Amino acid sequence: MEWFWPTLAIVCIVEGLGPLLMPNRWRLYMLQVSQQPSNQLRQVGGILVVVGSVSLFYLLH
């Protein structure tokens, strides 16, 4: 569990770079994402969870 908080901090840093450095472009991107069908967003989210889980598994073992 000692890896959880540092990992969460890195996620916050990475997620915050877009709005910090390019707020107008980030806003347009979020607008485009919000207009996508729910099924497409669900598929992208599922793929990201699987890729992240597999990557984490291989990085930790």
Give the angle subtended at the CA of 44 by the CAs of 21 and 27, to the nearest 5°. Answer: 30
Instruction: List, for residues 44-61, the tens digit of each pLDDT value.
Output: 999 999 999 999 888 888
Report the alpha-carbon distance of residue 28 to residue 3 in Å, rounded.
Answer: 34
- Indicate whether 1 pLDDT > 80: no
Instruction: Determine the pLDDT at residue 37.
Output: 97
Domain ranges of the chain: 4-60
Specify burial of residue 26 (Cβ count, 10 A radius: 0-12, 13-18, 19+): middle
Q: What is the overall mean pLDDT for the chain?
A: 93
pTM over 0.75: no
- pLDDT at 61 (0 to 100): 84
- pLDDT tens-digit map of 13-24: 999 999 999 999
